[in-house]
Amino acid sequence: MASEYRKSHYRFILVFMLFLCAMSIMLTIGAVRNTRQVHAVETYNEIYEIKKVFLKNTVQNMVRTIENLYQFHTRTGELYRDRLFTDIDRLYAYNPVRFATRARELLVDTNYGDSLFIRFTDTRDNTELYSLGSPDPESSQTRTWDRFALTIGISSKWIDERTVAAVREIIYQQEYENGGYIWVNEVHDWNGGPDYATRRIHANLRDSEGTLLDTATTDVAGNTPYLTELEGVRKNGEVFFTYFFRRMESRDIGEKITYATLYPRYNWIVAMGYYLDDVQVYIDRVEEASDRITGIIVFITVLSNCALFVFAFFLLSRRENRYFLRTRRQITEESNIDPLTGIFNRRVGNAFLEDAFRSWHETGATPALFMVDIDDFKPVNDKWGHACGDEVLRTTVQAIRDSMRLSDKLIRWGGEEFLVVCPGLSPEGSYVVGEKFREAVMNARTANCDQNERREIAVTVSIGTGFFAEGDHDPFEAVNRADLALYRAKKAGKNCVR
């Protein structure tokens, strides 16, 4: 009887243990699958948000670049106009008697081409002595000498053509991972419909530039991306949306996340998209790894008790969490650091400027902004090669770094141009600091660019200084002032601080 009882008890314990093991296995499988799904979703969402931030910053930077190019060509036209007026002044001062003939000869032979509108008249009888181009009242200026009047204006068509050509070249040259690119659509009718816009610039479909667009156009999933883009920009000035489009390097169709915003001067919608396939590939790898780990955990659970199982599952969860945090940190760091120089890139630099701008509004203390540009950098690349040019960039960065305080931030703004943000500097102190940066670079040497002669290369920098000021709507107005000061430094002969 006792033997039967013990056997029955043993059977019960065995069945109970098997039941616990089965329950543990089921709970483990369910828990790990749930964790895997949550992890995959959170990872997807995090990468998705990082891509959205990158898209927005890249497009906003392109919009600022377009405006800077427009202003540059406008200033160039103004420079041509002023130079021509100066030349005419000299002619009149030299020989007023033959002024009309000499002035007309100079205007006919001018090298400024189609950048200017010119009208030279005899006001005594309103005779037109020379005329070139179509008038532009907004940019025209008139000067008189005795009875002669000269009106010179800047051709808006010339400015627009130069700006569009420069923007197109920049967009064509830019390269991004996973088929990312920028495009520009020029809107004619904000109500949409057929021919509502023209495809002005498109890195993926260059042959189709100039094509008229229709908001009724759909992708393979039935989405209307042109309509979504138009309505979002019209309503909010910007929009994020997804749709399906042909890849740049193949005929395959892929889903894209896209950001678009408005450049109002030309009625341009500037947009950039990224394909989402790479995010899914990463998620698939995570799920495959999780499947392998699940099998290991189930095997351990069968050979151990529930307590050991709980402990093992806890360790697994911690390890996966550390892996997720490390991956996230690596992605964030790679998106913030310029790979060539090791300093902050422009994306994170914009964030620094926004923080400094908010702090200035709260405390009234403006940082000094130094726009630093290497003088005559292109000849270095042309003569010694891009490898030497890269070494010059690194040497320049190290020289500036050695002269900075711990609180200062050095940002690669683009090409051979850098931005230094120095909190707590007065205008008087900023000149001293700027000179310190300039002298540090001037005294630095880049060695062994010439493998034959083993010579060292020295470069100089021009520096423009700017500060936040009352009336600024964003920090980039101060950056523009620093950029203008840099322009004055270049005009003053380079290797100086303005």
CB atoms within 10 A of CB 229: 23
Q: How many angstroms separate the CA atoms of 324 and 212, rounded?
A: 46
pLDDT of residue 426: 86
Residues 238 and 260: beta-carbon distance below 8 Å: yes
pLDDT of residue 497: 95
| Assigned domain for 452 exists | yes
Q: How many angstroms separate the CA atoms of 471 and 478, rounded?
A: 11
| Assigned domain for 411 exists | yes
| Assigned domain for 19 exists | no
Radius of gyration of the chain (CA): 33
Q: Which amino acid is at 328?
A: R
Tokens 């189709």 sit on residue: 208
| Assigned domain for 279 exists | no
Name the domain boundary from 159, 181, 201.
Answer: 159
| Assigned domain for 232 exists | no
Name the domain boundary from 140, 159, 178.
Answer: 159
* Joined tokens for residue 300: 């351990």
pLDDT of residue 320: 59
| Assigned domain for 395 exists | yes
Give me the domain span that covers residue 484. Answer: 346-491
CA distances (Å), 293 to each of 21, 98, 247, 289, in order?
18, 94, 35, 6
pLDDT of residue 450: 63
Widest Cα–Cα separation across the chain: 142
String of DSSP letters for 295-342: HHHHHHHHTS-HHHHHHHHHHHHHHHHHHHHHHHHHHHHHHHB-TTTS
Can you give the CATH number for the domain in which 449 is found? 3.30.70.270
pLDDT of residue 74: 92
Tokens 């042109």 sit on residue: 226
CA 283 to centroid of chain Cα atoms: 27
| Assigned domain for 84 exists | yes
CA angle, 306 then 311 then 316, to 5°: 120
String of DSSP letters for 16-69: HHHHHHHHHHHHHHHHHHHHHHHHHHHHHHHHHHHHHHHHHHHHHHHHHHHHHH
| Assigned domain for 457 exists | yes
pLDDT of residue 458: 85
Name the domain boundary from 144, 159, 174.
Answer: 159
Per-residue pLDDT in tens (0 to 9) along the chain, 498 residues: 545 655 565 566 667 767 766 776 777 667 666 766 666 677 777 877 888 899 999 999 999 999 999 999 999 999 999 999 999 999 999 999 899 999 999 998 888 878 889 999 999 988 999 998 887 777 789 999 999 999 999 988 899 999 999 999 999 998 887 678 899 999 999 999 999 999 999 988 899 999 999 999 998 888 999 999 999 999 999 999 988 887 766 677 878 899 999 999 999 999 998 888 766 666 677 667 767 776 677 678 767 766 665 565 556 556 756 765 675 666 666 678 999 999 999 999 999 999 999 999 999 899 999 999 999 999 988 888 888 889 999 999 999 999 999 999 999 999 899 999 999 898 888 999 999 999 999 999 876 676 655 667 889 999 999 999 998 999 999 999 999 999 999 999 999 999
The pTM of the whole model exceeds 0.85: no
pLDDT of residue 256: 85
Our count of domains for the chain comes to 2
Backbone torsions φ then ψ of 121, nearest 5 degrees: -130, 155
